[in-house]
Chains A and B, each alone.
Chain A
Amino acid sequence: MLYEYDALSCLKQPEAVVFPTTTADVVAVVKLAAREKLPLVPRGAGTGLSGGSVVSEGGIVLGFARMKKILEIDLENLRARVQPGVVNMDLTLAVSDHGLYFAPDPSSQKACTIGGNVAENAGGPHTLANGVTTNHVLGAEVVLPDGQVLRTGGKFWDRPGYDLTGFLVGSEGTLGIVTEVTVRLTRKAEAVKTLLAIFDRILDAPRTVAAITSRRVTPAALEMMDGFTLRAVEDAFHAGFPMDCAAILLLEVEGAREEVEEHADEMEAVCRENGAREVRRAKSAEERELLWRSRKSAFGALGRISPNYYVQDGVIPRTRLPEMLEFIEQVSSKYGLRIGNIFHAGDGNLHPLLMFDARDASQVERVKKAAADIMAKCVEMGGALTGEHGVGIEKRDLMPLIFSPDDLELMHKLKAVFNPSGTLNPGKVLPAGRVCGELRIEAGLGGIL
């Protein structure tokens, strides 16, 4: 049964999967679920990575595949009103001829939905300069668990009252079911330059990131891949990455043409000062596209060389990337696991990929421990448990690492204002008890455990 999975796993079969086409349909299902006391799990494309749309206690899955209309595009005000099932990339394609795009660009953007982006407060490589989903959502129509339909925010800023829209974004479908979203559209920059910096010593790459951060230029994107990951990617995509290097940085600068050239030169100089052996520039839109396609498909490329992988999503202060990379190397040797490193380095968002074979119970155990060590290190460095994938089921029981019992109690109370019976997407975000528990990697593992 397909709907037991997200990019992830299934814990319990749903009783039914419903595909509403209108808000009224959603209200009817919500009321039915309330009457029958059935859990409700909203779901976009199921590309999430923390178990946000995984069915944990049975119930009804609300699939938004048939609510995928773009309701309005307002060019002068740079706004669009969409149904939650609209695929992220489809919105960008719909406004592209007008020189516009929807800024959040998760790697899964060809499949993932705006509703899912709102639920998870999704990011992506280009959110470094442009901000994550919450910075681009101005309003929503939301169905509460009792069937009430509310409109929050709108097309313009500063509507009087509490920022309910801002609180809903990133709430992982536990507060209400979003049935319409008003988003901001962004104007494409006049010019863009994409640079590939190649390093022979792995630590030079994160040092370069720290050096760039303190410059006057904020790149539009600043990504890092280590040599191990790169070779897998190169085997899959033949993007022309050097097979012998220790790490690469993929940098992008955008803006007015006068500035982009200057900024690219400045970036290149910083890379060279910090040990880059070579800095290449994409010469055409095709070359740029290939570099980005390779980066956004890197997880899949690693899937080709390892039976299974588990991707982590921690955040640390950017200046501590070199230290973290060394730590991950220690973790790798300590547990005898290969770990590939793909980072949204510019904002300190780590995606270490732990390779393993799920058929080997000892490897699975070691992956759990290694991932937990990396999480603990993120917390110790003053970082966060998740930068863009969400808490979901996966990290729910780690929340006490970051939040005090008082903080969590407040979140429980705020949740209860929206979702008093707890039937809406149960078992996500907040831990059930106060004790710090384990990372639930099975929620992040495609149903293989």
Chain B
Amino acid sequence: MSAATEIAQVELAAIVGAARVVADPAACAAFAVDGQAPQCVVYPTSPDEVAAVLRCAAARDLAVIPCRNATKLGVGNPPRRYDVALSLKDLNRVWHYEPADLTITAEPGMKLGDFQHFVARDGLWLPLDPPGGARASLGGIVATNAAGPLRLAYGAPRDIVLGMKIATTEGKIVKTGGRVVKNVTGYDVGKLLIGSYGTLGVIVEISFKLFPLPPQRATFVIAAGTLGVARDLRQRILQSPLSPARMVLLDRCAAQQAGATAAEHTWTGPEIWLEVMGSARLIERCRRELGELAGPAGAYARGVDAASAENVWARATNFHPWVADAARSAVIVKATMPDSALEELVSRAEQEAEAESAEIAVFAQLGVGIVHLCILTQLGAPALLGLIQRLRASAEGLGGALIVEHCPPEIKQHIDVWGEAGDSLELMKKLKAVWDPQGILAPGRFLGRL
């Protein structure tokens, strides 16, 4: 550890207290990003402390990566440098909860599971099913604009966040938006922060729009048999008045991993899982009409009991951890594209995987235009890189883009996980420079290695 870093640690301890600056190697290893561990972990307890920590880091030129439960910490290019892990776990309070207004203001370290539990007593929820599931923190969800298949009905964090407070590298706390549900006062600065992966500032307070919990919900599965039938059914279901809240397409491997292949039917090809939220009569109608839609297409639809459904949704929306557990070398890529191209991308991906004799699991969010492909077979680096590049080319050829969300650090040496930056990069660099002129926040990790 350098002398400068040691001085900085003393200064950081003066801000948050000595016990809240942890330099123990084991503790630091838990915050490692792509194999790089920080020199210390800092645990501020208030927005003001976060701002002071950032000011100190800027003064000492220490690279900082903000974090809570690390559910999405692996997303991004390897950090150019990394000195301080800024843990937001102790910023976990709720301010201004107004259930009658359907608004709430909370701190970023609160876990989604705890948050949902807190508002559920008033019959409310935050309709997000992001990667990380209940362990994902509010700050992490917003900083990565993390949404799951529920985006079909409710949108993403960018649609649900009303306002924020942000600690800057200058040591200030700035505000954007507010606590009311409609607001065009000033520039929508929050939009820049949402999905910025901690590269502009540190979110220290977030106001959300809340939604009433649906009275009832029911999950159905349709064994589509082929991707062609799946495509036809996707279109017909989305055009129908049934309005599923979420809908995913799983391939055999994904269905198995999610525990979705029920004993009572044998696997016949891609499955569409969908959840409908609303009244008992609406759910009854879905049961009837999904059967009518599926039958003529040669597919088969059935209802799923609540407990199995819950389990499948939990695993199918939050597959990163168990994919990583299943295979340490697993690679997860996220392709985003027009909805119409989803099945085509899945088909190409399956062919590419087969050519490499690789097993992949496919989770496609229908109506949202997002496909996650998990490469489960360990491949040699050249084969894996080739496969990723071909998948990216497929996605781009279909009018989309592809991000590598999870892969071994050595692979990241050879690719940019975000893909080509495009001609907006110069503007993005200038925006980054406004917030973080020294480049101390997650340096090198974002698009264009910002």
Contacts and interface: CB of A to CB of B under 8 A. Distances in A.
B296 to A, nearest CB: 20
Name A's interface SS: loop
B8 interface: no
A160 B282 contact: no
Among A151, A348, A395, residue most surrounded by chain B Cβ atoms (within 10 Å): A348
A190 to B, nearest CB: 4
B187 A167 contact: yes
A71 interface: no
Contacts of B413: none
B147 to A, nearest CB: 8
Contact of A414 (B168, B184, B187, B282): B187
B225 interface: no
Q: How large is the interface on A (under 10, 10 to 19, 20 to 34, 35 or more residues)?
A: 35 or more
B188 A256 contact: no
B123 interface: yes
Nearest to A381: B180
Interface string A398-410: 0100111011001
Contacts of B397: none
13 contacts: A131-B155, A167-B187, A215-B212, A256-B242, A262-B279, A319-B101, A348-B181, A383-B178, A384-B185, A387-B184, A391-B184, A391-B186, A402-B185
Nearest to B172: A406
Given A162-B428, A383-B178, A256 B282 contact: yes
Contacts, number: 244
Interface of B: 96, 98-103, 123, 145, 151, 155-156, 158-159, 168, 172-176, 178-189, 191-192, 194-196, 200, 211-215, 235, 238-239, 241-243, 278-279, 281-282, 285, 334, 336-340, 368-370, 399-401, 403, 418-419, 421-425, 427-428, 430-431, 434, 446-448
Interface in A125-178: 127, 131-132, 134-135, 144, 150-152, 154-164, 166-167, 169-171, 175
Interface in A88-104: 99
A386 interface: yes
A74 B184 contact: no
Given A156-B337, A216-B123, A317-B180, A258 B282 contact: yes
Nearest to B418: A160
A77 interface: yes
B370 A158 contact: yes
Given A161-B425, A383-B178, 11 more contacts: A76-B340, A121-B184, A152-B424, A161-B421, A161-B422, A167-B188, A216-B214, A349-B182, A417-B427, A429-B187, A430-B186
A413 interface: yes
B193 to A, nearest CB: 9
A162 B431 contact: yes
Contacts of A74: 338, 340
Nearest to B337: A156
A304 interface: no
Contacts of B158: 163, 166
Interface in A188-232: 189-191, 210, 213-218
B323 to A, nearest CB: 19
Given A213-B102, A214-B100, A189 B241 contact: yes
A256 B281 CA distance: 10
A6 interface: no
B73 to A, nearest CB: 17
B111 to A, nearest CB: 23
A423 B306 CA distance: 59
A51 to B, nearest CB: 14
A414 B278 CA distance: 43
Nearest to A134: B188
